[in-house]
Amino acid sequence: MAKNKKLDIWKLMSIFVLVIYGLFLIYPLFMLLRQAIIGPDGFTFEYFMKFFSKQYYFETVFNSFKVSIAATLITLVIGVPLAYFYNMYELKGKTFLQVLIILCSMSAPFIGAYAWIQLLGRSGIVSQFIYSLFNFRLPSIYGFNGILLVLSLQLFPLVFLLVSGALKNIDNSLLEASKNMGCSGAKRFFTVTIPLCMPTILAATLLVFMRAFADFGTPLLIGEGYKTFPVTIYQAYLGEVGTDHSFGAAISVIAIVITALIFFAQRYANSKFQFTMNALHPVERKAIHGVKNVLVHLYCYIVVLVAFTPQLFVIYTSFQNTSGKLFVPGFSLDSYREAFDKVPNAIPNTFIIGIIALIFVIFLAIIIAYLVVRRSNRMNRAIDTLSMVPYIIPGSVVGIALVISFNKGPIVLTGTAVIMIIALIIRRIPYTIRSSVATLQQIPMSIEEAAISLGSSKMEAFFKVTVPMMKNGILSGAVLSWVTIITELSTAIILYNTKTITLTMSVYSYVSRGSYGIAAAFATILTVTTIISLFIFMKVTGSKEISL
Amino acid sequence: MDVNIRINHAVKRYGDNTIITDLSLDIREGEFFTLLGPSGCGKTTLLRMIAGFNSIEGGDFYFNENRINDVEPSKRNIGMVFQNYAIFPNLTVEKNVAFGLKNRKLEKNIIEEQTTKFLELMQIDEYRDRMPDRLSGGQQQRVALARALAITPDVLLMDEPLSNLDAKLRVEMRSVIKEIQNRIGITTVYVTHDQEEAMAVSDRIAIMNFGDIQHVGTPKDIYQRPANLFVSTFIGRTNVVEGELKNIDGKIMLVLPGGFVIDVPTLKEEERKERKVICSIRPEEFILEADATEGLKATVDQFIFLGLNTHYYVHFENGEKAEIIQESTIDNVINKGSEVYLRINTKKINVFKEDGSENLVTGVKNDYEDYKNGVSVGE
């Protein structure tokens, strides 16, 4: 019996995807490790020793853990009740709230940091105002407090979005049943609702922790003396005083080990909470009255408005007149004019690099989703795992690994837009893969088989029937990939040059030079781009909500 | 287009796990052929091998003279109806039905003509512009059937097409399917686990269990003369009663529990020897009369009046339980707790070897014996 041995098109696709990951993920990580353990005189642990022997370096790990854990807890404390109120009760202006929450999560964290510095910093508007009124100095915004404030307000929307998704999957009858058995109110929230959302809460915890741990724009701007781990990586690699690439590589390896450990710890915790939910009758929002109503509204609006303040402030200052680096009274479009003048290629770069990356992300994600869901074998499961690896590696590490691998040797890409695009694809594809996989799992195989039995080839069946059905799932991941692509800082800061500078990089470089007017103009353009992207997404998919 | 499907020594393996070891079949031109069996028996696997969605690890599959083992599913010219209908949710009813025709790059007016013809045949042309999510289950089923038939396939394959419908629609749709199949005369392979459904639609049925075929025959043959004990218990209801063949005064008689002796006239001559046997007595093959004084002694536990028939649940002296169906009578005097003597319609009952593997009475028609032994009946 002749077995069908010929290479079918999907097997070729598997190999193609594996080669891509091999070249742009495994090879760079390997080179990173090599750089960390091979010194001028061969194999050495010198760079690792340097890290562990100096309190200064070692402390940054503790600092990072401290601030990340604190930020994660605060986001849970803020985000879970917000999600609960939002999904259980009838709120006034809930679409407006949701849009603001999404926007909060979608700006680059360092923009929040610099806005808060201007509001609450040493010469911040709010701190000055309070001082002049009460002769009272607000506690310092720099260091631990500031990082915590910025990260919490930046990251709680992730908890909100994920937990909202879980709450929508809770069947109303579960809540009714518990009420029927005498469990209601706060007791029900803690004994029924929270445990039902536990897998999602754990997922959110991991996501927030990883983001907080890897973020370095925020501590760089607002941390001052409070050094975190990613800042050390960045400074070892690009710092103004004495860069040491091998040391940078060694710290990067340590970073990967730490995040991997956390990832597996979360996996283990998650395996204790394995169950599936599918709401036949989703919970309907209830109207509430009286004091409770007022308090719930107050809570939601205060949280969201405080979180959105930095962006409002940035938009406001982008229209302010400036004199040198100072804001002066009066409004104009001068900052925009200057921004366009000084970095004319920021907008085109952002879109060209972003759109090319997005096209590859969508194309690869569809293929990977198909391979993972429909062709589960060892090779494709390996692809699945590989594709999630960048999810747990800090962006600056990805950037450093790519530079080490492609600044000399057979393929030289450093300094080109190509390497930035590759970094973005590798880093931002997991969102689109996850959403595509989830959607494809919902689509029965028989739909494709029906198309094949009606004369379509396998490829036609997939692209003509299944992909259109996956459209909304693909897009919901793609919009996240897109927004994170255009707001990407951590790899870009290592890989960019003046030719490939993007909007986010422009914001960053003008913030660090103290030209807040121009930075605000760039940041506003970024925010508007994000809003338009979300708007287009909602129009195309007809969905009113974004889920993670 | 009359196509017969021949399968010689089919083998299906998943890894080291062999699902089908050696299976042969011959499905006749224009026949409505049903694969019937409990879940996990391999019936859907076999259907999907015919369709080309499952690989074939051994044996040969033929549509007439053409070996189809290596033919792409899209080139086999099959119409397939799936359990969940697999209607394209993003296309209208009309576009769903036209989908296969468009793949054949037919002329536009032919596509439209053919589409309309089948929409009308399935009585769904009023919904042609609707999206599938606005159709009921029965209507979706009609779309699926229209779509499968519109490409004028050589064979029609149906994988539990009615299992998602409610009981009433199921009965309605099975007569629709049967009628359409009759009218078009297309060779049809139908998979179901519902034996009543199989009896209602099929010309012939193959009873499957553990990846092997137990019996191939008409519904009547299978019901009345099942090839083995599994078939008799799977098709229709039956009471399994242990018995013994004994030589009584020079004649082989069947001794039932409690010592009740009957003569089974249909026993094969060559099997008439003393041995333990197992009997399958269907509920209607008992004769229950209140005034009978000899027979198989039983006590009535419960009776249920269902109009045409009355069902009695009884237990024998050895504790075994049985179900009896009798035509309802006006004067019913058999109450709960009554002791009764059951007589048996000896022409109808089936007697199997002690291990249930073979029927010992005459009249068993099992076409699978021929297929197994390589005699091709269809030609």
H, E, C per residue of A497-508 = CCCCCCHHHHHH
Domain ranges of chain B: 5-229, 239-360
Low-confidence ranges of chain B (pLDDT < 70): 1, 332-333, 375-379
Go through B138-151 and write b for each residue having 16 or more CB atoms within 10 A of its CB, e for each that does not: bbbbbbbbbbbbbb
Q: What is the pLDDT of residues B164-194, one digit of tens each?
A: 888 888 999 999 999 999 999 999 999 999 9
CATH class of B5-229: alpha beta
Record the tokens describing residue A130, joined without a space: 């309070």
Q: Select from A33, A157, A81, A117 the least CA-distant residue to A516.
A: A117
The rounded distance, in Å, linking the Cα atoms of A67 and A281 is 40
**The amino acid at A480:** L
Q: Which residues of B touch A1 (CB under 8 A)?
A: 11, 56-59
Residue of A nearest to B150 (CA): A454
pLDDT by residue (tens digit) across A213-240? 988 888 888 888 888 888 888 888 776 5
Residue range A83-101: mean pLDDT, rounded: 89
Record: contact B82-A1, CB cut-off 8 A: no
Residue of B nearest to A455 (CA): B74
Residue B232: HSE in the Cβ half-sphere, 13 Å Cα cutoff: 27
Q: What is the average per-residue pLDDT within A368-395?
A: 87
The residue written with tokens 């689109």 in the block is A432
* Residues 6+ positions from A248 with CB-CB distance below 8 Å: A233, A236, A237, A400
Mark yes or no for CB contact A465/B88 under 8 Å.
Answer: yes
Q: Which residues of B touch A451 (CB under 8 A)?
A: 88, 99
Residue A280 has a pLDDT of 67
> Which of the four pLDDT bands, split at 50, 70 and 90, describes residue A1?
very low
Q: How many CA atoms lie within 13 A of A138 on its CB side?
A: 22
Return the domain boundaries, chain A: 9-44+335-548, 48-318
Q: Which residues of chain B are at the A interface, by a Cβ-Cβ cutoff of 8 Å?
A: 11, 51-53, 55-59, 70, 72-76, 78-80, 82-84, 86-90, 99-100, 103-104, 144, 147-148, 151, 157
B56 contact residues in A (CB cutoff 8 A): 1
Task: Give residue B72's pLDDT.
Answer: 86
The structure tokens listed for A63 are: 């600092």
Query: Is there a contact between B74 and A456 if contact means CB atoms under 8 Å apart?
Result: yes
Binary contact (B72, A457; C-beta < 8 A): yes
* Residue A362 scores a pLDDT above 60: yes
Determine the residue type at A294.
V
Topology match between the domains B5-229 and B239-360? no
Over residues A432-475, the pLDDT tens digits come to: 998 898 889 888 888 988 999 888 888 888 888 899 888 888 88
DSSP letters spanning B156-195: EEEESTTTTS-HHHHHHHHHHHHHHHHHHT-EEEEEES-H
The Cα-based distances of B38 to B236, B271, B280, B345 in angstroms read 13, 30, 19, 29
C-alpha triplet A136, A138, A139: angle, nearest 5° = 130
Please give, rounded to a whole number of angstroms, the shortest distance from the CA of B339 to a CA of chain A: 49
Q: pLDDT per residue over A388-441, tens digit each?
A: 888 788 888 898 899 888 887 777 887 788 999 999 999 999 889 988 988 898
The lowest-confidence range among A181-190, A331-340, B136-145, B176-185 is: A181-190
The predicted pLDDT at position A547 comes to 58
| B359 secondary structure, DSSP code | B
What residues of chain A lie within 8 A of the CB of B76, using their CB?
Answer: 453
A520 or A186, which is more confident: A520
CATH number of B239-360: 2.40.50.140
User: CA end-to-end span of chain A, whole Å?
Assistant: 48
d(CA B219, CA B205): 6
CATH of the domain spanning A48-318 = 1.10.3720.10
Pick the closest to residue B89 from A365, A474, A546, A442 (CA basis): A442
Chain B positions touching A458 (Cβ under 8 A) are 74
Whether the Cβ atoms of residue A368 and residue A17 lie closer than 8 Å to each other = yes
Q: CA-nearest residue of chain A to B105? A: A455
Q: Do B90 and A454 touch (CB under 8 A)?
A: no
- State pTM to two decimals: 0.78
Q: Which chain B residue lies closest to A453 (C-alpha atoms)?
A: B74
| C-beta neighbour count of A414 within 10 angstroms | 17
pLDDT at residue A544 tops 70? no
Q: Which fold has domain A9-44+335-548?
A: MetI-like fold (1.10.3720)
Residues of B in contact with A3 (CB under 8 A): 55
Mutate to test the interface with A, among B22, B45, B53 (most CBs of A within 10 A): B53
Which position has the token pair 């024998």? B316
> pLDDT above 90 covers what percent of chain B?
65
What pLDDT, on the 0 to 100 scale, is given for residue B47? 94
Residue with more model confidence, A498 or A542: A498
Find out whether B161 and B83 touch, Cβ atoms under 8 Å.
Answer: yes
The CA distance from A226 to A211, in Å, is 18
> What residue of B is the nearest CA neighbor of A4?
B70
Give pLDDT, residue B91. Answer: 85
What's the confidence (pLDDT) of residue A148?
Answer: 94
Q: Do B58 and A1 touch (CB under 8 A)?
A: yes
